[in-house]
Amino acid sequence: MARMRAVDAAVLILEREGATQTFGLPGAAINPFYSAMRAHGGIRHILARHVEGASHMAEGYTRARAGNIGVCVGTSGPAGTDMITGLYSAWADSIPILCITGQAPVAKLHKEDFQAVDITSIARTVTKAATTVMEPAQVPGTFQQAFHLMRSGRPGPVLIDLPLDVQQTEIEFDIDTYQPLPVYKPAATRAQAEKALDMLASAERPLIVAGGGIVNADGCAELVELAEMLDIPVVPTLMGWGSIPDDHRLMAGMVGLQTAHRYGNATLLESDFVLGIGNRWANRHTGGLDTYTRGRTFVHVDIEPTQIGRVFAPDYSIVSDARAALRQLLEVARDRRAAGTLPDRRDWVSECGERKRTLHRRTDYDDVPVKPQRVYQEMNAAFGPDVRYVSTIGLSQIAGGQFLHVYRPRHWINCGQAGPLGWTVPAALGVCAAEPNATVVALSGDYDFQFMIEELAVGAQFNLPYIQVLVNNAYLGLIRQAQRAFDMDYQVELAFRNVNSPELGEYGVDHVKVAEGLGCKAIRVREPAALADAFEQARKLMAEYRVPVVVEIILERVTNIAMGTELDGIVEFEALADADITATPTTETLH
C-alpha cells in the first residue's frame, strides 16, 4: 500500500470525488495542503482577495452546474471565521460546499496558540458537519464522509479542520481502491403519488409551487413535463426561478412580498390547491400566513423531514427528493392520462394566462436620472434568454425579481435566505469559473458592490469575464425602507461629494475609477437612452480583455418613503392582501 502524507490523500480524494476547483488563500497552517495540490496537479485554484470572498466563489461554482461541489480553503484562525458567512449562506440555501481550514498542531489546541480557534464549534450550527481531525489516519474517512453528507438528503456544506501536524503525518492510503460512499436520497412511493394526485384532482384551481429543491435535484425537465401533462400553472419561488421558462404558457409568475409579480400574487389568491415541491414556504414568499393559506389545500414535498410543518401544517406531505417525487408523480399521471381520467384545466389555465398578460408594472420610463424599471427593461433586451444572472439582496435584487426574465435552470443564481451584502461579485466569479463560456451578468446595488469590491481583481488576474450591472442610488435602499417603521431615515446615506470626482455630484464613491484600478473595465451611464449601447459596449470589452466589466447606472434618488407608495419602482407588500396585489390593466401596462 502507498505511504503518503495525510494531505496528499485528501487531495487525491478531492480529485476522485470530482471536486477539482478550489478558491482560497494560503497561509502557514494550511501550506502543507497547498503543497499537496501543487504536487498532484489535478486541483485548480483561484486566489481570492478575502477569505469570505473565497467561500462565496465556492458557492457560485456549486450553484452554476448540477453535480458541482466548490471548495474554499484557508489557514487557521480568522480564515475560518471569515468563511462562516459563506457556510451560513450555503447551509441556508442547501448548497454543498467544502470548507477546508488549517489549524494549530494538536498539542497546542488547548494552549491559546497563535490563530488557534475552535472553528468547528463556531461552524457547527451552519454546516451539516464540522470536524477537527485529530488523528492523521482519519483524514481519508473524514473526507469520504464529507462528500457523502454534502450530497445526501438535503444538500449542504461541510467544514474540515486540519491541524498542521495531522496534515504532514504519513499514513497508508490506496487511492486506486477508493470509492465514494453511496448517496442517500429519500424517494416518494407510488401510493404517495396517487394520494397527492387524488387530492389535486378534486381541486378546481390548482397550482404547483416549484422550489429550489427542484433545481438542486436537477428535476426541472420533469417539472415541466408534469405541469404540461396535468395542465397546471406553476409558481416558481425565487430559488426555483428558471425551473420553468418565463415564457412558458404555464409559468404563472412569482408570489410574495418583494420578488413577485402582480399576476403571480393574484393567481395564488384565486387558487384552491397548492402542490409545493422542494420549497420551504419562506416568509418572503408567503407573506401573511392567514391570507396565504386561507381556502387552500396544501401538499408539501421536501427532501428534509424536519421541513414538513415547519412554517405551517400541510394537508398531506411526502418526504422525497424532488426529482424522485416528480418521476413518481409522472408515472401515475401517465397512467391516468391513458385511462382518460385527468381533469380538464383549460378554463383555469386561461384565467391565469390573462392575468399574466395584463398585470404588469410599467418599465418604459425616460426620466433622468434613470428609473430602475428602465434598467431591467434594457437588460432583458440586451442579454436575452441565455444569460446567467447573479444577485444577492436589496432593492436591486427585488427589482430584478419583478422585472427580469429567466428561461433556464441555474440561470438565476441568487443567495436566497442569508442574503449577505458583498456576495454578488465573488459568487459571479465562481459562476464564471464553472461556466467559462457563459454570459454572466451580476446585479448589485452600490453597497453590495462596495462590500467585496476587491474581488474584482481576482476576475482580472484569472480572466473571469462577466458584466457587473451596478445600480447606484447612493443610499441603503432596502434598509431605508425598513426604517419607515421607526419613522426615521438614519445612517443609510452613502452620498457625499467626492473631492477627486466632482462630476459625480452627491453620488460618493467613484466606482469607475475603483474598478479600473483593480484591472477591470468600467462604464458610467446617466441617461436611459444610453443603456443599450452601454450593455453592447460591455459585451465587446468583456470579449476583448477577458476581465469583468462594470456598468454603473446613476439612478434617481427618491426621497418619498411614505408607507404604501412605490419607491424606486418597488412595491413592498406588507401582506398578501387583495388590495395590495391585484390591479386592473391601465394605459401604463406594457405587453
**Closest C-alpha among 254, 261, 242, 250 to residue 282:** 254
Q: What is the pLDDT along the chain (591 residues), one digit of tens a residue?
A: 699 999 999 999 999 999 999 999 999 999 999 999 999 989 999 999 999 999 999 999 999 999 999 999 999 999 999 999 999 999 999 999 999 999 999 988 887 777 789 999 999 999 999 999 999 999 999 999 999 999 999 999 999 999 999 999 999 999 999 999 999 999 999 999 999 999 999 999 999 999 999 999 999 999 999 999 999 999 999 999 999 999 999 999 999 988 899 999 999 999 999 999 999 999 889 988 999 999 999 999 999 999 999 999 999 999 999 999 999 999 999 999 999 999 999 999 999 999 999 998 889 999 999 999 999 999 999 998 999 999 998 888 999 999 999 999 999 999 988 889 999 999 999 999 999 999 999 999 999 999 999 999 999 999 999 999 999 999 888 888 888 889 998 998 899 999 999 999 889 999 999 999 999 999 999 999 999 999 999 999 999 999 999 999 999 886 443 333 332 333 333 333 333 333 333 222 222
150 Cα distance to chain centroid: 17
Q: Is the dihedral of CA 20, 32, 106, 140 positive or negative?
A: positive
DSSP string for 325-336: HHHHHHHHHHHH
- Residue 416: the pLDDT is 86
Q: Residue 458, SS3?
A: helix
DSSP string for 480-507: HHHGGGGT---S-B-----TT-GGGTT-
- Residue 519: the pLDDT is 98
CA angle 55, 404, 54 (to 5 degrees): 10
284 Cα distance to chain centroid: 15
- Residue 254: the pLDDT is 95
- Residue 482: the pLDDT is 85
- Residue 95: the pLDDT is 97
All structural domains of the chain, each given as residue ranges with its CATH number in brackets, are: 3-177 (3.40.50.970), 190-358 (3.40.50.1220), 372-568 (3.40.50.970)
CB 94 within 8 A of CB 212: yes
**3-state SS string for 149-180:** HHHCCCCCCEEEEEEHHHHHCEEECCHHHCCC
CB 72 within 8 A of CB 161: no
- Residue 367: the pLDDT is 92
CA angle 168, 174, 175 (to 5 degrees): 90
Give the integer Cα–Cα distance in Å for 48 and 37.
16
Residue 591 burial class via C-beta count within 10 angstroms: exposed 0-12, middle 13-18, buried 19 and up? exposed
Give 544's contacts (C-beta < 8 A, 6+ positions apart).
Answer: none
Looking up cell 448548497 gives: 95
